[in-house]
Each structure stands twice: as structure tokens, then as C-alpha cells.
Amino acid sequence: MSGNISVIGAGSWGTALAHTFAVAGNSPLIWGRDAQVADSINNRMENPRYLQGLKIHPVVKATIDLEEAITRSKLIVCSIPTQQIRTVFGPFADHLKDKIIVNASKGIEIGTHFRVSQIFKSIAPTAQYAVLSGPSFAEETVKGLPTAVTIAAESAELCKMVQAVASSAVFRAYTSDDVVGVEMAGALKNVIAIASGMVWGLGLGHNSQAATITRGLAEIARLGQRQGAQPLTFLGLAGMGDLVLTCTGPLSRNRRLGEAIGKGGKLAQVSSELGGVAEGYFTAKAASQWAKELGVEMPILREVYGILYEGTSARDAVSSLMRRDLKEELG
């Protein structure tokens, strides 16, 4: 299958995905609220707000008409903040009945604790669903640097179809049947990236950052497996691959948020300077509540939540983590 694809969300990753699908031989239409961004994409092949200076494939077109975007294509790509999905897609539920939804958003809904697949299931229960996730900075993707991701769906046929539609000489997609694991890994790695950034901002060095990433992966897998995820998923592209990139790469908003806080920045000011949503901020709240209800131990997540929502200092949080009761690593 190739042809019309609509990407909902004209942020950096939505724009990069539209470009990626165009490179793979499709005709993407991208939706966003900003008329100036849409005009620039249509006339100058550039998203000046998020990917300034990078040329987008000329086949990509943009619109500010959400109904047009949703009704135009059989395959709909979701690339908006998780907390906005219900508001954006809900009014168009009737149009989604027979669509294929490929989700590229990473997060957990506050209040319901729903993964994105569960949000869409509640909005459009008959739509087919797949999730695309993995180590993929938007800027590098648009530049054509080699990128590999995971496509997960319950249907092997759907997985292979989306894999074929997305893949090109510079963008390689692997398939998985573990929707739960891929979604949990993608959402929770953002929280660990905030922690990794805080460690770096505090000047605690490579040892501490490596420990944060490794123990963070253990926490992600712990909550993910409690939801039925497959353990090996957390060692793959959507798990360790995306976690390492987001925790160490300078283009990561979540890492930059944490680093600025670690250096003493105020949350409100830091957030306004990021130029986009750091999903880990919202996921920290949703996942912290969820883990507490389930009785799942997630100490790094708990401390990040304390820093973001309760005024705990980053240095006190590190001290609290280091003074926890001693235990076996894999116990």
C-alpha cells in the first residue's frame, strides 16, 4: 500500500514523519493549527517553527483544516501530545471507523492511565491501530541520516503493511506484535531522560548518567511487564535504543528540560524556552499515580515526580536514591 497519508500534528516529529513517508513514495498531508507554518510548508518546503533551515520533501502538503486531513486518507498518523489526543480526534470519531491509525505519540493519559492505543480504542474501537517508535530525532530524520524504528500492531498483516509504507533507503522499520511494550517503553523513557538530564545538569558525570539509564530501564520494564509487555521489547529499538538516544542526545527536549532544572533553572521558565512539549513532564504525573496504585517500585520515577510537582530539589532526589536500602541488582 502506498498513496495518501495524513499526519496529524505539525511539530518537529510530525513534520519529519510526513517527510519520511514522502521519501518512501507516498503523498502526505500534514495538519497543524498554525496557518503560517502550513503556508511555509506548502510554499517554501520548510517548517520555520520546529525545523528551521531544513528542506522538507516537496510532495508534502499542509492544511489547517482538520476534517480535510482526517477524511482525505485511509492511513492517519498521530503525532500530537498525548494529553491532546482525545480533544483533537474525539469530534471526528465517526470518520475514524475504518481508518488505519499509526501512532507516533509517546505518553500516558493523565487520569485514565491509558496508553495511546487504549485512548484510540475508546474513541474509534473499529479503527486498525499500529504504533511507530524508536530512536529517531526529527532533525536527523529529515536530514536523511540512517534511522531504524519499530512498528508494533496486533495484526502481523497490518505491521508489514505499515513497515512497507514507511521504509526507504534511509528509514528502516522492524515489526513487533508487542503493542504494550513498545508504548510503555516510548512513554516512560521520557521520564528517565528528564532524570538523566538532571544528573548531567548537576555535574555528576558519566558514571551517574549510565547508572540512571540502566536502572531507569529496569523501572520501565518492571511497569511494562506488569501490563503484559514482553521483556525482550525493552532491549530493542523501542526500549534501550530510544532510551539511550533520549537520555544522552542534545536534541532531546526531555533531557534538556532535566539538564536545565539540574543547573538550577525554574520549571516554568525552562518549559517556555524548550520550543515544544516535553512529554515526560505529563507522563511523570500519570505514571507515578499508576505505579503507586499498582504497587510497582519505581524510585527514579518517584523522585522525578517529586522534583516536577512537589518542589523537591534535584540534589536531594539524588541523595535519596543513593541512600535507599541495598538490594540485588536483578532481584
Domain spans in the chain, listed from the N-terminal domain onward:
4-177, 187-322
Strand partners, 61: 29
Q: What is the DSSP letter of 142?
A: H
Is 100 in contact with 75 (CB distance < 8 Å)?
Answer: yes
Q: Hey, CA dihedral for 117, 37, 256, 244, is it positive or negative?
A: positive
Which pLDDT score, from 0 to 100, does residue 183 have?
98
Answer with the residue of higher pLDDT: 271 or 172. Answer: 172
Give the pLDDT mean for 239-249: 98
Which pLDDT score, from 0 to 100, does residue 2 have?
54
pLDDT tens digits for range 61-70? 999 999 999 9
Which pLDDT score, from 0 to 100, does residue 271 have?
82
β-pairing, 147-152 with 75-78? unpaired
Which pLDDT score, from 0 to 100, does residue 3 have?
76
DSSP secondary structure, 276-316, as one string: S--HHHHHHHHHHHHHHHHT---HHHHHHHHHHHS---HHH
pLDDT tens digits for range 76-131? 999 999 999 999 999 999 999 999 999 999 999 999 999 999 999 999 999 999 99
pLDDT tens digits for range 265-319? 988 888 888 866 789 999 999 999 999 999 999 999 999 999 999 999 999 999 9
Which pLDDT score, from 0 to 100, does residue 274 have?
82
Q: Hey, CA dihedral for 50, 52, 54, 55, is it positive or negative?
A: positive
User: What amino acid positions are annotated as catalytic residues?
Assistant: 189
Strand partners, 8: 31, 78
- Statement: residue 249 has pLDDT above 70: yes
Question: Hey, what amino acid is at 317?
Answer: A
- Statement: residue 331 has pLDDT above 90: no
- Statement: residue 228 has pLDDT above 70: yes
CATH number belonging to domain 187-322: 1.10.1040.10
The CATH number of domain 4-177, selected from 3.40.50.720, 3.40.50.620, 3.90.1170.50, 3.30.530.20:
3.40.50.720
What is the spatial distance between Cα 212 and Cα 23, in angstroms, rounded to a whole number? 36
What is the spatial distance between Cα 203 and Cα 197, in angstroms, rounded to a whole number? 10
